[in-house]
Amino acid sequence: MATWAHLSFQDSSSPLMEQLILFHDHIMLVLVLIVTFVFYMMATLFSNTFTNRYLLENQPIEIIWTSIPALILIFIALPSLRLLYLLDEVNSPSMTLKSIGHQWYWTYEYSDFLQMEFDSYMIPTNELEDSGFRLLDVDNRTILPMDMQIRIIITAADVIHSWTVPSLGIKADAIPGRLNQTSFLINRPGLFYGQCSEICGANHSFMPIVIESTSINSFLNWISLSTSD
Protein backbone atom coordinates (compact mmCIF):
# COMPACT_ATOMS: atom_id res chain seq x y z
CA MET A 1 0.00 0.00 0.00
CA ALA A 2 1.04 3.61 -0.48
CA THR A 3 2.37 5.73 2.37
CA TRP A 4 2.54 9.52 2.70
CA ALA A 5 5.96 9.73 1.01
CA HIS A 6 5.14 7.31 -1.80
CA LEU A 7 4.92 9.24 -5.08
CA SER A 8 4.89 6.41 -7.62
CA PHE A 9 2.42 3.59 -8.29
CA GLN A 10 1.75 0.86 -5.78
CA ASP A 11 3.30 -2.52 -6.53
CA SER A 12 1.14 -4.34 -9.05
CA SER A 13 -0.91 -7.31 -7.88
CA SER A 14 -2.65 -8.11 -11.16
CA PRO A 15 -1.72 -8.38 -14.84
CA LEU A 16 -3.85 -5.29 -15.58
CA MET A 17 -1.85 -3.14 -13.19
CA GLU A 18 1.40 -4.43 -14.68
CA GLN A 19 0.23 -3.26 -18.11
CA LEU A 20 -0.79 0.14 -16.70
CA ILE A 21 2.65 0.63 -15.13
CA LEU A 22 4.39 -0.41 -18.36
CA PHE A 23 2.27 2.06 -20.33
CA HIS A 24 3.09 4.81 -17.82
CA ASP A 25 6.82 4.08 -18.23
CA HIS A 26 6.37 4.12 -22.01
CA ILE A 27 4.75 7.57 -21.87
CA MET A 28 7.36 8.95 -19.48
CA LEU A 29 10.18 7.83 -21.77
CA VAL A 30 8.60 9.67 -24.70
CA LEU A 31 8.07 12.80 -22.59
CA VAL A 32 11.66 12.84 -21.31
CA LEU A 33 13.00 12.57 -24.86
CA ILE A 34 10.74 15.39 -26.07
CA VAL A 35 11.57 17.71 -23.17
CA THR A 36 15.30 17.04 -23.56
CA PHE A 37 15.18 17.79 -27.28
CA VAL A 38 13.14 21.00 -26.78
CA PHE A 39 15.51 22.35 -24.11
CA TYR A 40 18.50 21.52 -26.31
CA MET A 41 16.97 23.44 -29.21
CA MET A 42 16.13 26.40 -26.95
CA ALA A 43 19.68 26.51 -25.61
CA THR A 44 21.04 26.35 -29.15
CA LEU A 45 18.82 29.23 -30.29
CA PHE A 46 19.71 31.43 -27.32
CA SER A 47 23.44 30.88 -27.83
CA ASN A 48 23.29 31.50 -31.58
CA THR A 49 24.02 35.12 -32.50
CA PHE A 50 23.60 34.69 -36.27
CA THR A 51 20.42 35.43 -38.18
CA ASN A 52 19.34 34.88 -41.77
CA ARG A 53 17.70 38.07 -42.97
CA TYR A 54 16.59 36.48 -46.25
CA LEU A 55 14.87 33.40 -44.78
CA LEU A 56 11.10 33.74 -45.29
CA GLU A 57 9.92 30.14 -45.03
CA ASN A 58 11.34 26.66 -44.98
CA GLN A 59 9.01 23.97 -46.27
CA PRO A 60 11.19 20.96 -45.29
CA ILE A 61 11.29 22.14 -41.68
CA GLU A 62 7.50 22.68 -41.70
CA ILE A 63 7.02 19.11 -42.91
CA ILE A 64 9.42 17.71 -40.34
CA TRP A 65 7.92 19.43 -37.27
CA THR A 66 4.42 18.48 -38.39
CA SER A 67 5.07 14.83 -39.23
CA ILE A 68 7.28 13.94 -36.25
CA PRO A 69 4.65 14.93 -33.58
CA ALA A 70 2.04 12.98 -35.57
CA LEU A 71 4.25 9.87 -35.50
CA ILE A 72 4.86 10.34 -31.76
CA LEU A 73 1.10 10.53 -31.12
CA ILE A 74 0.59 7.30 -33.08
CA PHE A 75 3.40 5.72 -31.06
CA ILE A 76 1.45 6.63 -27.90
CA ALA A 77 -2.09 5.97 -29.16
CA LEU A 78 -1.62 2.35 -30.30
CA PRO A 79 -0.62 0.89 -26.89
CA SER A 80 -3.18 3.18 -25.25
CA LEU A 81 -6.04 1.73 -27.32
CA ARG A 82 -4.79 -1.79 -26.71
CA LEU A 83 -4.77 -1.24 -22.95
CA LEU A 84 -8.19 0.45 -23.04
CA TYR A 85 -9.81 -2.56 -24.67
CA LEU A 86 -7.89 -4.91 -22.37
CA LEU A 87 -9.33 -3.17 -19.30
CA ASP A 88 -12.89 -3.48 -20.63
CA GLU A 89 -12.59 -7.16 -21.51
CA VAL A 90 -14.41 -9.69 -19.31
CA ASN A 91 -13.17 -13.13 -20.31
CA SER A 92 -15.20 -16.13 -19.02
CA PRO A 93 -14.85 -15.35 -15.28
CA SER A 94 -14.52 -18.16 -12.76
CA MET A 95 -16.62 -16.36 -10.16
CA THR A 96 -18.67 -13.19 -9.75
CA LEU A 97 -18.65 -10.62 -6.95
CA LYS A 98 -21.26 -7.87 -6.67
CA SER A 99 -20.41 -4.64 -4.87
CA ILE A 100 -23.12 -2.13 -3.86
CA GLY A 101 -22.18 1.32 -2.63
CA HIS A 102 -24.15 2.96 0.17
CA GLN A 103 -23.74 6.14 2.19
CA TRP A 104 -21.24 5.22 3.60
CA TYR A 105 -20.32 1.55 3.40
CA TRP A 106 -20.11 -1.27 0.88
CA THR A 107 -22.28 -4.36 0.54
CA TYR A 108 -20.84 -7.47 -1.11
CA GLU A 109 -22.73 -10.37 -2.65
CA TYR A 110 -21.08 -13.57 -3.81
CA SER A 111 -23.45 -14.35 -6.66
CA ASP A 112 -22.17 -17.90 -7.19
CA PHE A 113 -23.05 -18.99 -3.64
CA LEU A 114 -26.37 -19.07 -1.82
CA GLN A 115 -27.01 -16.58 1.00
CA MET A 116 -23.54 -15.09 0.89
CA GLU A 117 -23.87 -11.36 1.54
CA PHE A 118 -22.40 -8.95 4.07
CA ASP A 119 -21.80 -5.26 4.76
CA SER A 120 -18.31 -3.81 5.09
CA TYR A 121 -17.89 -0.79 7.41
CA MET A 122 -14.76 1.12 8.28
CA ILE A 123 -13.38 0.38 11.74
CA PRO A 124 -13.46 3.60 13.83
CA THR A 125 -10.09 4.86 15.03
CA ASN A 126 -10.94 4.31 18.71
CA GLU A 127 -11.70 0.61 18.00
CA LEU A 128 -8.71 0.00 15.74
CA GLU A 129 -6.03 -2.48 16.78
CA ASP A 130 -2.38 -1.45 16.88
CA SER A 131 -1.68 -3.41 13.69
CA GLY A 132 -4.53 -1.78 11.75
CA PHE A 133 -4.41 1.11 9.33
CA ARG A 134 -6.37 4.24 10.20
CA LEU A 135 -9.28 4.98 7.79
CA LEU A 136 -8.44 1.88 5.73
CA ASP A 137 -9.37 -1.21 7.76
CA VAL A 138 -12.89 -2.68 7.71
CA ASP A 139 -14.83 -5.04 9.92
CA ASN A 140 -15.56 -7.52 7.09
CA ARG A 141 -12.87 -8.01 4.48
CA THR A 142 -13.69 -9.09 0.94
CA ILE A 143 -11.98 -12.47 0.60
CA LEU A 144 -11.15 -13.60 -2.92
CA PRO A 145 -9.07 -16.45 -4.36
CA MET A 146 -5.89 -15.65 -6.23
CA ASP A 147 -5.03 -16.90 -9.74
CA MET A 148 -8.70 -16.89 -10.73
CA GLN A 149 -10.46 -14.60 -13.19
CA ILE A 150 -12.99 -12.66 -11.11
CA ARG A 151 -15.81 -10.53 -12.47
CA ILE A 152 -17.07 -7.73 -10.26
CA ILE A 153 -20.45 -6.09 -10.82
CA ILE A 154 -20.68 -2.63 -9.31
CA THR A 155 -23.71 -0.48 -8.55
CA ALA A 156 -24.99 1.93 -5.90
CA ALA A 157 -28.12 2.22 -3.78
CA ASP A 158 -28.24 6.00 -3.28
CA VAL A 159 -25.64 8.29 -4.92
CA ILE A 160 -22.67 7.78 -7.23
CA HIS A 161 -19.69 6.02 -5.66
CA SER A 162 -16.52 4.60 -7.18
CA TRP A 163 -15.00 1.21 -6.31
CA THR A 164 -11.22 1.57 -6.54
CA VAL A 165 -8.30 -0.68 -5.65
CA PRO A 166 -5.07 0.89 -7.00
CA SER A 167 -2.76 -2.13 -6.71
CA LEU A 168 -5.20 -4.18 -8.85
CA GLY A 169 -5.67 -1.46 -11.44
CA ILE A 170 -9.42 -1.23 -10.83
CA LYS A 171 -11.57 1.89 -10.77
CA ALA A 172 -15.24 1.59 -11.69
CA ASP A 173 -18.13 3.95 -10.96
CA ALA A 174 -21.03 2.70 -8.86
CA ILE A 175 -24.11 4.38 -10.32
CA PRO A 176 -27.68 3.93 -8.97
CA GLY A 177 -29.85 1.95 -11.36
CA ARG A 178 -26.91 0.82 -13.48
CA LEU A 179 -24.63 -2.22 -13.38
CA ASN A 180 -20.98 -1.70 -14.32
CA GLN A 181 -18.70 -4.67 -14.62
CA THR A 182 -14.99 -5.32 -14.89
CA SER A 183 -12.72 -8.27 -14.27
CA PHE A 184 -9.35 -8.84 -12.67
CA LEU A 185 -6.97 -11.59 -11.60
CA ILE A 186 -5.01 -11.36 -8.35
CA ASN A 187 -1.60 -12.97 -8.83
CA ARG A 188 -0.34 -12.98 -5.24
CA PRO A 189 -1.75 -13.36 -1.72
CA GLY A 190 -2.07 -10.39 0.61
CA LEU A 191 -4.21 -7.46 1.67
CA PHE A 192 -5.08 -4.82 -0.90
CA TYR A 193 -6.57 -1.51 0.17
CA GLY A 194 -8.79 0.90 -1.73
CA GLN A 195 -11.28 3.68 -1.14
CA CYS A 196 -14.32 5.28 -2.70
CA SER A 197 -12.98 7.63 -5.39
CA GLU A 198 -16.12 9.63 -6.12
CA ILE A 199 -17.23 12.35 -3.70
CA CYS A 200 -20.46 10.93 -2.29
CA GLY A 201 -21.27 13.01 0.78
CA ALA A 202 -20.06 13.92 4.25
CA ASN A 203 -18.48 10.53 5.02
CA HIS A 204 -16.99 9.94 1.59
CA SER A 205 -13.53 9.46 3.15
CA PHE A 206 -14.78 6.77 5.52
CA MET A 207 -15.83 3.89 3.25
CA PRO A 208 -12.62 1.98 2.50
CA ILE A 209 -12.21 -1.29 0.60
CA VAL A 210 -10.09 -4.21 1.80
CA ILE A 211 -9.52 -7.29 -0.35
CA GLU A 212 -7.87 -10.32 1.19
CA SER A 213 -6.35 -12.63 -1.40
CA THR A 214 -5.99 -16.26 -0.35
CA SER A 215 -5.52 -19.68 -1.91
CA ILE A 216 -8.51 -21.37 -3.49
CA ASN A 217 -8.71 -23.97 -0.72
CA SER A 218 -8.71 -21.31 2.02
CA PHE A 219 -11.38 -19.36 0.14
CA LEU A 220 -13.63 -22.42 -0.21
CA ASN A 221 -13.20 -23.22 3.49
CA TRP A 222 -14.21 -19.65 4.36
CA ILE A 223 -17.23 -19.85 2.07
CA SER A 224 -18.38 -23.14 3.56
CA LEU A 225 -18.07 -21.81 7.12
CA SER A 226 -19.84 -18.55 6.27
CA THR A 227 -22.77 -20.19 4.49
CA SER A 228 -23.23 -22.79 7.22
CA ASP A 229 -23.65 -20.14 9.97
The Cα 143–Cα 129 span in angstroms is 20
Q: 59-117, pLDDT tens digit by residue? A: 888 888 899 999 999 999 999 999 888 888 877 888 899 999 999 999 999 988 777 88
DSSP string, 145-171: ESSSEEEEEEEESSS-EEEEEGGGTEE
CA distance 116 to 41: 63
Taking each helix axis as running N to C, give the angle between helix 59-88 and helix 15-47, from 0 to 180 degrees, rounded to the nearest 10: 160
Contact of 150 with 95, CB cutoff 8 Å: yes
| DSSP element (H, E) containing 116 | none
Predicted pLDDT at 113: 79
With cut-offs at 50, 70 and 90, classify the pLDDT of residue 25. Answer: very high
Mean pLDDT of 24-30: 93
Mean pLDDT of 170-189: 91
- The pTM of this model reads 0.81
Average pLDDT over residues 201-216: 92
- Residue 228 confidence class, pLDDT cut points 50, 70, 90: low
| CA atoms of 1 and 136, how far apart (whole Å) | 10
Fold of 95-227: Immunoglobulin-like (2.60.40)
Query: Domain-by-domain residue ranges, the chain?
Result: 15-88, 95-227
Q: Is 85 exposed, middle or buried (0-12, 13-18, 19+ CB in 10 A)?
A: exposed
**Neighbour-count burial for 166-189, b at 16+ CB within 10 Å, e otherwise:** bbbbbebbbbeeeebebbbbbeee
- % of residues, the chain, pLDDT over 90: 50
Q: What string of DSSP letters covers 70-85?
A: HHHHHHHHHHHHHHHH
pLDDT tens per residue, range 100-159: 999 999 999 998 877 788 999 999 988 888 888 888 899 989 999 998 999 999 999 989
Q: Taking residues 161-186, what's their average pLDDT?
A: 92
Percent pLDDT > 70 in the chain is 97
